[in-house]
Chain A
Amino acid sequence: MAPARAPDRLWFERIPMAWWIVVAVLLTMPLFANNFWLFQVMGWSFILGTIAVSLTFLAGYGGMVSLLQMSIAGLAGYMVAILGPSGTTSISLGLAWWIVLPAAFLIAAVFATLCGALAVRTEGIYTIMITLAIAAAFFYFTRQNYTIFNGYSGFNLVLPPQLFGVNWRDPAPFYYLCLGCAALCYGAVVYITRSPFGLALQGVRDNPRRMAALGFNVTAHRVAAHALASVFASVGGILLVWQNAQIAPGTIGIPAAIDILVVAVIGGIRRPLGAFVGAFIYVILQVFSPDILGTFGFSAERFKLIIGLGFLAVVLFSPDGVLGLWDRWRARRARRVDPLTGAPR
């Protein structure tokens, strides 16, 4: 809670140089990157990262590893397609965006709250099993239900609204849209960490029984965390349906649900930044592995093998993910320097 004591530097002076460089590169990227890079690589990274950061929030701070985040994102995406305009005019209602978006967030949050309430009935490792089972049930349901979810084919031609006369699916606007949403979600997760709710959630993760003995309703906090995480997942889900311009059961299948976990774990599930680092690595591998695999005579499908092995390596050797590796590398370098200078770093 420590309020900053007598700051001797202004807040922006305390942000390391590396951050300023990253921000500058991200903001100016449309000036030097091509459309494919903006739309496919960076856009998709931000979207995946946003969905994964909702898992980081639940797992890293709340200790609840949920495989439902992709389903919740998908439900929000589906709602945008169903309530708003799409190519499937027989089902889509074609409502205005200012009704569609709040409704999508709300419905996804209600779904997340209900599922969360089921999942927190049990603890620990059961959560992962129950959420996996619910995710699968939702996937099969969307595939079989034609009256609402249009079954196997789903919805296509789901486009973002033309706000301010901008086509938000053009590469540069879409890039900035995704960057803005991702930055907001990341900032929100970091900010909430130090709020009463965020602190209480970490308390619940560390010692639920003691939290109850401090006056906290542990179950309600856990369910509320599921509801809050659904907001981030929904942001990602809606951006995803706009990026692909379509949504189908395959978007929310079990492999997709597991990919979100893989992304969060590879980056480092204890820190919000890890979700975006993991997403970037995942997308780079996904996008460029066909070429590389092709040169060695493998089929592009072996991408899954690489991701699986990479995930295994991270879980086995660096539970803090890539960010953890980075920290350790820096710590080792710092130790090497220390004896010479005698000063810290």
Chain B
Amino acid sequence: MTLAAPDDRLTQMNSGNALELRGITKMFGALAAIADVTLTVRPGERRAVLGSNGAGKTTLFNCITGDFPATSGIIRFFGEDVTAFPPYERIRRGLRRTYQISSLFAGLTVMDNVYLACRGVSRNRYSLLRPRSDDALVHAAETLVEAVNLTAVRDQLVGELAYGQQRQLEIALALSGAPRFILFDEPAAGLSPTERRDLVTILTSLPSHIGYIIIEHDMDVALRVVESVTMMHNGRIFKEGLPSEIEDDPEVQELYLGGGHG
């Protein structure tokens, strides 16, 4: 599981990359939140994006999903150019994401939230008929709720859930349908040590064909669930490598890991 060298990556273009970013730039006014980011991720590859606050990690996610379209650059998802697609078209092609600040439907129950997520990437989104209890999507939703340990609160309103439960629900939404690639935005933030262990279990037990990028400040979580690492600084990528290389890199140590980890 080594990273392909940059030259190799260029020749691999269009040939089976899960995600391919070329020269992605996002301007907010005159300020470049991310500048000229080029990145490729193979199917099933799991990668961490690290960097200090304001390095542009979440903005990068927003550009990939189309929440905020990139100012310039090209995004390919499994070979298809999705740069001009609205977010929902990208999601329907198997891209998923979670949000740093839980972004859920507070007025609906846990099951309804997950059911919506399953429905969003299937047909009959506009159906006016209530699903029957043997509906396949209801079953899919139930399975997902169980997978993230929320069965006990499945009929509670999301607004009433504890913080950790909301984070788990956030992950359940991202796992709905048939994801091919997931963007996790700080999934461990604010979780207790037990919940973090559960999270690592969920991430490592994902089917191997599902790749993901994870933004995470907790190195113990991040470096245990990925096989490659990309470092960002001031909106640019400045280093890519294996988790062990990044952990030992003196420059990275100094910039990000600080004394606490050194």
In the complex, A touching B (Cβ < 8 A): yes
Q: Which residues of A are at the interface with B, using a C-beta cutoff of 8 A?
A: 1-4, 191-192, 194-200, 202-203, 205-207, 209-218, 221, 224, 228
- Name the prevailing secondary structure of the B interface residues: loop
Chain B interface size, as a band, is: 35 or more
Is B108 in contact with A4, judged by CB distance below 8 angstroms?
no
Q: A1-B138, A2-B154, A215-B92 are in contact. List 18 more A-B contacts (CB 8 A).
A: A1-B131, A2-B109, A2-B155, A3-B133, A194-B130, A195-B127, A195-B129, A195-B130, A196-B129, A197-B127, A197-B128, A199-B112, A202-B107, A206-B108, A207-B104, A212-B91, A215-B120, A215-B121
Q: Which of A200, A207, A214 has the most CB of B within 10 A?
A: A214
CA gap between A192 and B117 in the complex, in Å: 18
Is A196 in contact with B125, judged by CB distance below 8 angstroms?
yes
Say if the beta carbon of B106 comes within 8 Å of chain A: yes
Is B86 in contact with A214, judged by CB distance below 8 angstroms?
no
A residues near B194, Cβ cutoff 8 Å: none
Is A213 in contact with B119, judged by CB distance below 8 angstroms?
no
Is A2 in contact with B111, judged by CB distance below 8 angstroms?
yes
B residues near A228, Cβ cutoff 8 Å: 128
Given A196-B119, A206-B105, A206-B107, A212:B87 Cβ within 8 A: yes
Q: Which residues of B are at the interface with A, using a C-beta cutoff of 8 A?
A: 65, 67, 86-88, 91-92, 97, 99, 103-109, 111-112, 115-117, 119-121, 124-133, 138, 141, 154-155, 173, 176-177
CA gap between A213 and B61 in the complex, in Å: 12
Is B105 in contact with A202, judged by CB distance below 8 angstroms?
yes
Partner of A199, one of B67, B104, B116, B154: B116
Given A3-B133, A217-B88, A211:B120 Cβ within 8 A: yes
Given A200-B116, A216-B88, A207:B103 Cβ within 8 A: yes
Given A199-B112, A215-B177, A224-B126, A210:B119 Cβ within 8 A: no
Is B125 in contact with A212, judged by CB distance below 8 angstroms?
no
Q: Which 3 pairs, one residue from A and one from B, show the smallest C-beta to C-beta distance?
A: A3-B133, A215-B120, A214-B120
CA gap between A2 and B132 in the complex, in Å: 10
Partner of A195, one of B87, B128, B141: B128
CA gap between A4 and B111 in the complex, in Å: 13
CA gap between A202 and B129 in the complex, in Å: 16
Is B106 in contact with A206, judged by CB distance below 8 angstroms?
yes
CB<8 Å pairs between A and B, sample of 27: A1-B111, A2-B111, A2-B155, A3-B133, A3-B138, A195-B127, A196-B125, A196-B131, A197-B126, A197-B127, A199-B115, A199-B116, A200-B116, A200-B125, A203-B105, A203-B116, A210-B99, A210-B104, A212-B87, A212-B91, A213-B65, A213-B91, A214-B176, A215-B125, A216-B116, A224-B126, A228-B128
